[in-house]
Amino acid sequence: MLLCSVSASGASLYAQSPTFGLGHTPKAEDLKAIDIEVTPDGKGLAPGRGTAEAGKTTYANRCATCHGPTGVEGPQDVLVGGQGSLKAPAQPLKTIGSYWPYATTIWDYIRRAMPFDHPGTLTPDQIYETTAYLLFLNGIVGEHDVLDQTTLPQVKMPNRDGFVIDPRPDIRPDTTTTTPNSRKPQSPPKKGS
Ligand code: HEC
């Protein structure tokens, strides 16, 4: 009981701590700028469109120096190939084509992180077309397939069903979402129960 009251007053002290003149309360537009999550079903995708054909040039200009002319040469992450290599005895090659379960995540990732040296500089159309080009190089979409808010979530990635639920007994699936990695650790058993 004593323990309870101490921690409760600790929490209220924290809430009432004085302002030190650092930072500011974020404005609605500050929050909007970082609220750019795209979920596997495509929620959060910006309007726009692109084909692999159009993405070839953008990729050559903005991506190839680091990922190679066809996505396999590097020097940075290999983006193409590796399909079928995730099962032993093959040496696994994890690329967006062989490993990533959702095409929408590629769009989200490119928007927030690429090009590595100038993130945030691509237009939505450029993001759709480079995503399309990488999917095309991986043999997942055709060169003229139009990817947009509706069609991108419909792309079925080769490893979509390759994720399994963690069988460890202290980990249980989070039933509120279908994202493969979102699992809540079970809360420890209560004392005396
Ligand atoms: C200056 C170098 C550079 C440029 C230019 C660049 N990238 Fe990257 N890219 C990287 C690095 C480094 C990583 C790994 C980042 C990490 O693991 O945190 C990466 C990772 C990625 C990944 C994730 C790969 C994986 O399997 O995890 C994708 C997808 C990607 N880049 C796409 C692009 C696209 C599309 C462009 C062009 C619009 C681009 N990159 C331009 C350096 C670059």
What type of residue is 87? K
Q: Which of 57, 73, 76, 104 to mutate to test the pocket of ligand 1 (most atoms within 8 A of CB)?
A: 76
9 phi-psi bin (left φ>0, alpha ψ -120 to 50, beta other): alpha
Q: What's the confidence (pLDDT) of residue 1?
A: 41
**Counting atoms of ligand 1 from 1, which one is nearest the CA of 94?**
26
Give me ligand 1 centre to Cα 58, in Å.
14
What local confidence, expressed as pLDDT, does residue 187 receive?
Answer: 58
Total tally of structural domains belonging to the chain: 1
| Predicted pLDDT of residue 126 | 98
| Residue 171, pLDDT score | 75
CATH number for the domain harbouring residue 101: 1.10.760.10
Please choose from 63, 105, 123, 152 the residue to mutate so as to test ligand 1's pocket, defined by most ligand atoms within 8 A of CB.
63
In which domain, by residue range, is 131 found? 36-160
pLDDT of 22-76, one tens digit each?
A: 888 899 999 988 889 999 999 999 999 999 999 999 999 999 999 999 999 999 9
CA 100 – CA 163 distance, rounded (Å): 10
Q: How far apart are CA 139 and CA 80, in angstroms?
A: 9
Q: Which of 126, 156, 160 is nearest to 141 (CA)?
A: 156
pLDDT at 73: 97
Q: Which residues contact 39 (CB under 8 A, 6 or more apart)?
A: 104, 179
Q: Is residue 141 part of a domain?
A: yes
92 alpha-carbon distance from chain centroid: 21
Measured CA to CA, the distance from residue 139 to residue 93 in angstroms comes to 16
Q: Is residue 21 assigned to a domain? A: no
> What pLDDT was estimated at residue 173?
63
Instruction: Measure the CA–CA gap between 119 and 13, rounded to whole angstroms.
Output: 40
Residues of the chain falling short of pLDDT 70:
1-18, 173-193
Pocket of ligand 1 (CB under 6 A): 62-63, 65-67, 76-77, 79, 95-96, 106, 109-110, 114-117, 122, 130
The verdict on residue 56 lying in a domain is: yes
In one-letter notation, the amino acid at residue 33 is A
Which tokens sit at 173? 């699936």
Atom of ligand 1 nearest to the CA of 126: 38
